[in-house]
Amino acid sequence: MIRFPFLKKSRFRGPLTRRGERIGIPRGMMFYHFFPLWSSFWENLGWQVEVSPFTTRETVEAGKGLTGTDLCLPVKAFLGHVLCLKDRVDALFLPRLISFEEGAYLCPKILGLNDIIRNLIPDLPPLLEPPVNYKGPPKVSLESSFLSLSETVGLPRGRLAEAFRQARVHWEKEQAGVYRTHGIPQKLIPEDLTQALDRVGPGTARFHLGIIGRPYLLFDPILSQQLLKRLTFRSCALTCIHGISAAERERQEEKLAKKVYWSLGRDLVASSLSFSQKKDIDGIISISSFACGQDAFTSYLVDHYARQHSDKPFLSLVLDEHTSPVGLQSRLEAFFDLLGRPH
Ligand code: SF4
């Protein structure tokens, strides 16, 4: 059995949570990637899953009020989601995501997210925080991560293994669904946004845009300043980074002089290469968060590859909580002027 030095032994004296209780999952960060797996796992075992409501300006303000530092907008919003959930649930599920695929890490702010939460938010319910670390040491796969919860929830590992197996099947189906809906996780975004996206079909779209952005920024309407909805109002069909198949992204990655070291950063750069070569993509928009350490590197590569391989109109947006909706609208109008010109 894998032991984790930062989990003190005394925390294993009995289950931290029991079947039937409420497990809280904040709607932010890697939620957009892992939620179907996480929720299905807990529900298969008999827990109730409670997700924090969609982000509001108050959620962001609450998170921002805790930090006063230069943390990026998605992390500030995530803190707001934890605040919103913490008194409504029996435990919070916050896996320590270090590396979820071979050869790549997540951002240091995601690696340290649980410590940030512990330090900034008092009176937390028990945190269930199994690590996931494909790079190691020690190496911990997704499955081992879930199995390590056996003592914490007071259930045998065999029962957890079966719940994980079923959850993974469900997750894979959901991921295939996201690919089919052009990289947009329709079940995880507000209904009005899904309806707006559905209104632009192949016959009605004026332009087809490739959208490059981290899911937790792009699919949160408050953090992205309603970017996707603004684009559908202009009759644009959209394809986001996970609307490109994993095989195609890997093919594009092979062309890079040096592999990108971060999981989502890889997807952003590979998507830029792919969109720039697709004949049916009329223009490309890249969205990133101010104070994002990773995007200080990856935005340059995204921009470089988008411009090097095509003359498609390209717009790069850097957002934070101070971004003016009027300024954003002006940038979009200038971009649409370019799109309308022959190129
Ligand atoms: S990758 Fe950037 S936006 Fe994402 S958590 Fe890290 S610093 Fe924030």
Start-to-end Cα distance in the chain = 60
Could you report the per-residue pLDDT of 169-194, keeping only the tens digit for each?
999 999 999 999 999 999 999 999 99
To test the pocket of ligand 1, the residue of 64, 295, 317 to mutate (highest count of ligand atoms within 8 Å of its CB) is 295
Please state the atom number of ligand 1 nearest to the C-alpha of residue 107. 6
Ligand 1 neighbourhood includes 289 CB (under 6 angstroms): yes
What pLDDT is recorded for position 88? Answer: 97
**Is the beta carbon of 112 within 6 A of some atom in ligand 1?**
no
Mean pLDDT of 107-126: 94
Atom of ligand 1 nearest to the CA of 108: 6
Atom number in ligand 1 closest to CA 293: 7
Dist. CA 96–CA 177, nearest whole Å? 26
6-53 residue pLDDT tens = 444 444 567 888 899 999 999 999 999 999 999 999 999 999 999 999
Per-residue pLDDT averaged across 68-85, rounded?
A: 92
Is 220 close to ligand 1, i.e. is its CB under 6 Å away? no
Task: Please name the residues in contact with 331: beta carbons below 8 A apart, sequence gap of 6 or more.
Answer: 315, 317
**213-236 residue pLDDT tens:** 999 999 999 999 999 999 999 999
Instruction: Check if 302 has its Cβ closer than 6 Å to any atom of ligand 1.
Output: no
Most confident listed range (108-112, 236-240, 291-295)? 236-240
Q: Is 211 in the pocket of ligand 1 (CB under 6 A)?
A: no
For a substitution probing ligand 1, which of 292, 317, 318, 321 has the most ligand atoms within 8 Å of its CB? Answer: 292
How far apart are the CA of 337 and the centre of ligand 1, in A?
Answer: 31
What's the rounded Cα separation, in Å, for the pair 117 and 132? 18
**177 alpha carbon to ligand 1 midpoint, in Å?**
25
Among 199-203, 259-263, 333-337, the least confident range: 199-203
Residue 343 confidence class, pLDDT cut points 50, 70, 90: low
Among 175-179, 238-242, 256-260, name the one with the lowest average pLDDT. Answer: 256-260
pLDDT of residue 76: 95
Q: Which residues contact 247 (CB under 8 A, 6 or more apart)?
A: none
pTM confidence score: 0.93
Interval 140-155 mean pLDDT:
95
CATH T-level assignment (fold) for domain 182-340:
Rossmann fold (3.40.50)
Q: 256 CA to middle of ligand 1, Å?
A: 22
Is the confidence at residue 90, as pLDDT, over 80? yes
Distance (Å) from CA 37 to ligand 1 centroid: 22
Domain range list for the chain: 9-176, 182-340
Instruction: State how beta strands 22-25 and 91-93 pair.
Output: parallel
What mean pLDDT do residues 255-283 have?
93
**In the prediction, which pLDDT does 136 show?**
82
pLDDT at position 57 over 80 = yes
CA of 90 to the centre of ligand 1 (A): 28
Interval 111-137 mean pLDDT: 94
CA of 81 to the centre of ligand 1 (A): 16
Question: In the prediction, which pLDDT does 309 show?
Answer: 81
| Residue 103 CA to ligand 1 centre (angstroms) | 19
Which one of 73, 78, 109, 290 would you pick to mutate in the ligand 1 pocket, going by the greatest count of ligand atoms within 8 A of its CB?
Answer: 109
pLDDT of residue 203: 80
Q: At what angle do helices 246-254 and 263-277 cross, to 10 degrees?
A: 90
**What value does the mean pLDDT of the chain take?**
92
Q: HEC profile for the chain? A: CCCCCCCCHHHHCCCCCCCCCEEEECCCCCHHHHHHHHHHHHHHHCCEEEECCCCCHHHHHHHHHHHCCCCCHHHHHHHHHHHHHCCCCCEEECCEEEECECCEECCHHHHCHHHHHHHHCCCCCCEECCEEECCCCCCECHHHHHHCCHHHHCCCHHHHHHHHHHHHHHHHHHHHHHHHCCCCCHHHCCHHHHHHHHHCCCCCCCEEEEEEECHHHHCCCCCCCCHHHHHHHCCEEEEEHHHCCHHHHHHHHHCCCCCCCEHHHHHHHHHHHHHHHCCCCCEEEEEEECCCHHHHHHHHHHHHHHHHCCCCCEEEEEECCCCCHHHHHHHHHHHHHHHHCCC
Q: Mean pLDDT check: name the lowest of 174-188, 261-275, 317-331.
A: 317-331
- Tell which atom from ligand 1 comes closest to the C-alpha of 264: 1
Q: Note the pLDDT of residue 9.
A: 44
77 CB within 6 A, ligand 1: no
- Going by C-alpha positions, the residue among 111, 126, 144 that lies closest to residue 10 is 126
Whether pLDDT at 259 is above 90: no
Q: How far is the CA of 161 from the centre of ligand 1 (A)?
A: 31
Closest residue CA from atom 7 of ligand 1: 292
Q: Hey, whose CA ends up nearest to atom 2 of ligand 1?
A: 292
Question: Distance between CA 34 and CA 255 in Å, rounded?
Answer: 28
How far apart CA 148 and CA 145 sit, in angstroms, is: 5
